[in-house]
Amino acid sequence: MDQVFVRGLEVETVIGVYDWERGIRQRLVLDLEMAWDISAAAAQDDLRLTLDYAAVSQRLIEYVSSTSFELIETLAERVADVVLGEFQVPWLRLTLTKPGAVQAARGGVGVVIERGQRAP
């Protein structure tokens, strides 16, 4: 199966379990790999047949910036629900990174989840 990806999508939101985190907005970074058959769009050179990564990105910016969760695990599940449900993506791998959460982890910390059914 082909994949469409979005890497390094930065969004600010309220996230965290500590009192000080509940009163600030923190930057998160989303990386998505989404299964999508690109052959029809490529054959017809037709945007309407693509997975519009700009639309996916904008929707996730709007969604994540308007939410408030304690756990990045919860946010990751909700983001997966949005992508799978609203864009009819059959499978996705989402990496959700919280930069700066652990000072010694220069690349940040986070979760990687896969949801949906990957075609053979």
- pLDDT band of residue 110 (cuts 50, 70, 90) is very high
Q: What is the number of structural domains in the chain?
A: 1
Residue 78: per-residue pLDDT = 98
Burial call 57-83: b when 16+ CB within 10 Å, e when fewer: eebbbebbeeeebeebeebbbebbebb
Which CATH number fits the domain that encloses residue 53? 3.30.1130.10
Count of C-beta atoms within a 10 Å radius of residue 4:
19
Residue 3 confidence (pLDDT) above 90: yes
What residues make up the domain containing 22? 3-116
- pLDDT band of residue 120 (cuts 50, 70, 90) is low
Residue 80: per-residue pLDDT = 98
Six token digits for residue 52: 């519009």
Residue 46: per-residue pLDDT = 94
Residue-wise pLDDT tens digits, 42-98: 999 999 999 999 999 999 999 999 999 999 999 999 999 999 999 999 999 999 999
Residue-wise pLDDT tens digits, 27-47: 999 999 999 999 999 999 999
Question: Is residue 18 annotated as part of the catalytic site, yes or no?
Answer: no
Residue 108: per-residue pLDDT = 86
Residue 101: per-residue pLDDT = 72
75 contacts: CB under 8 Å, gap ≥ 6: 13, 15, 28, 64, 67, 69, 96
35, 96, 98, 115: the active-site residue: 98
Using H for helix, E for strand and C for coil, what is the string for the chain? Answer: CCEEEEEEEEEEEEECCCHHHHCCCEEEEEEEEEECCCHHHHHHCCHHHCCCHHHHHHHHHHHHHCCEECCHHHHHHHHHHHHHHHCCCCEEEEEEEECCCCCCCCCCEEEEEEEECCCC
